[in-house]
Structure 1
Amino acid sequence: MTQQFLRAGCVLALAAACGAAQAQQAGTFSVRAGFTRIMPQTKSGDLSEPSFPHTHVDVGADTALTGGINYMLTDHWALDLPVGLPFQHSFYGDGAIAGVGKLGQTKVVPATLFAQYRFGEAQAALRPYLGLGVTYSKFFKNRSTAALTAVTGGSPANPTTAHIDNKWGFTAQVGFVWNFSERWFLDVAYYKSFLKTTAHLSSGQSIGMRLNPNVVAVGVGYRF
């Protein structure tokens, strides 16, 4: 009886591997859905005058529902386009104004197109990959708080607002795909984006920021 179970297990494992082989060849198209967390590693410059010396900002993390579209150009090379809802990041006082709290918030859509290289044979169920992509970050729906108005010398009748420059950057990626059936798979990835931008205030001041976020993305996908 034990030998029969072992034989059955081997047959199932072989069938799963064969199914995975069919699912990972050149010309395969897939979609996925899950979530992504963006964690900025902020280093800001000084707020331009008039301001206290060493007036900096920090940027909080956010998680959003995301997904992606992937196309296998060959058995190893793929194009990957993450998609999803906008991320919302809050800005906080740092440096000389570390105690003032939240200064504002913004929404951002980081649009990235990756070229990926997947290791291992096409029939492998588990395939690590490396990716490199170009990212365009669009900031919109900027909101400011009374704390920002106070820091910049404004008034309730004339509150300070902010505009953030949209910027290009690049993103490196490492991850893996686990094909747990012929069609379904799990995709887990870590990104490192390199991004600099500048916030311009209605008071005439500005502040440069190097965001360089760490990003973690997890998704469950279906391969056609």
Structure 2
Amino acid sequence: MHNNEILCRLLAAATLALGAAGAHAQGAAGSWFGGIGVTHIAPDVSSGNLSPPSAPGTQIDVDSDTQPTIFIGRMITDNWSVEVPIGLGFKQKIQGAGAIAGVGQIATVRTLPITVFAQYRFFEPTQRIRPYVMLGLTYTYNHDEQGSATLNAVNPINPPGGTQIDVENRFSLTPGLGVTAMINERWFVDAQYAKSFLKTKTTLNTGQTIEAKIDPNVFRLAVGMRF
């Protein structure tokens, strides 16, 4: 499924869930909100080439992953809010691409994106449905990297004990948009899309390196409450 199709479905789900609901005010300045949802991360990878010695054009791709997440936020004014998503992270499967396309999974890495969003919500707090735009600063913490037997097989200088990888932690900007719709005076549904402009560098224990733009698309559908 294409990313724009996923976004359309999230927005449609948020709207349809409220079809029979009456009008209810959203949070005003000073109020808190939070909730739980499902977050889907779909990397949009543009890979560089693995440094020699390697087959020319050796590149990577990164699979999508979906995990439950929670979030908490606060309305600073009637229109401005701050939100922090919270989760246990995602497991990213790294696939061979370019000259090694088709070899399969060459590594895995667990990623924990830590983001703080500033959001601007349109319309007044008395509106039942409020779209918003947002901009976040994300720190992506990578850990538990593991090279696979396939990586060992395709790497011409595979060392004793196997080829392992280390993915650098990086900061990135994350713009996005969303819509919040009230079910009643406290409960709401929220659909959100964001894109993080993330460039990484991976170093193998052989000294080889590869850089790639990961640029993940992030989709979230959640249920929350204000308090």
TM-score normalised by length of structure 1: 0.90
Contact 1:81 1:112 in 2 (8 A): yes
Mapped to 2, the partners of 1:137 and 1:97 lie a distance apart of: 27
Mapped to 1, the partners of 2:153 and 2:168 lie a distance apart of: 23
Instruction: List per-residue Cα deviations over 1:179-205 (Å, max 9, x = no partner).
Output: 110000001001011000111001110
Q: Percent identity?
A: 42
Partner residue in 1 for 2:218: 215
Partner residue in 1 for 2:90: 87
Give the 4+ runs in structure 1 shifted more than 2 A: 153-158
Mapped to 2, the partners of 1:122 and 1:217 lie a distance apart of: 22
One-letter amino acid of the structure 2 residue matched with residue 149 of structure 1:
N
| 1:30 aligned residue (23, 28, 33) | 33
One-letter amino acid of the structure 2 residue matched with residue 110 of structure 1:
P
Gaps of 5+ in 2: 1-20
One-letter amino acid of the structure 1 residue matched with residue 118 of structure 2:
A
Cα drift, residue 154 of structure 1: 4.5
- Equivalent runs, 1:130-149 vs 2, <5 Å: 130-149=133-152
- Equivalent runs, 1:180-195 vs 2, <5 Å: 180-195=183-198
One-letter amino acid of the structure 2 residue matched with residue 126 of structure 1:
I
Q: Secondary structure at the match of 1:194?
A: coil
Mapped to 2, the partners of 1:223 and 1:139 lie a distance apart of: 32
Instruction: List per-residue Cα deviations over 1:123-173 (Å, max 9, x = no partner).
Output: 001000000010000000111101111222245843000000000001011
Instruction: List per-residue Cα deviations over 1:24-60 (Å, max 9, x = no partner).
Output: 1111101110110000000110000001111100000
TM-score normalised by length of structure 2: 0.88
Query: How many matched pairs?
Result: 208
Mapped to 1, the partners of 2:94 and 2:76 lie a distance apart of: 40
Counterparts in 2 of 1:172 and 1:124: CA distance versus 1, 3 Å: same
Bigger radius of gyration among the two: 1
Q: Does 1:206 align with 2:206?
A: no
Partner residue in 1 for 2:199: 196
| 2:154 aligned residue (151, 159, 169) | 151
Mapped to 1, the partners of 2:159 and 2:123 lie a distance apart of: 61
Partner residue in 1 for 2:46: 43
Mapped to 2, the partners of 1:212 and 1:155 lie a distance apart of: 29
Contact 1:164 1:198 in 2 (8 A): yes
Q: Secondary structure at the match of 1:67?
A: strand
- Equivalent runs, 1:38-117 vs 2, <5 Å: 38-117=41-120
Contact 1:197 1:209 in 2 (8 A): yes
One-letter amino acid of the structure 1 residue matched with residue 205 of structure 2:
S
Partner residue in 1 for 2:129: 126
Contact 2:197 2:216 in 1 (8 A): yes
Contact 2:159 2:206 in 1 (8 A): no
Partner residue in 2 for 1:175: 178
Contact 1:60 1:89 in 2 (8 A): yes
Moved more, 131-140 or 145-154: 145-154
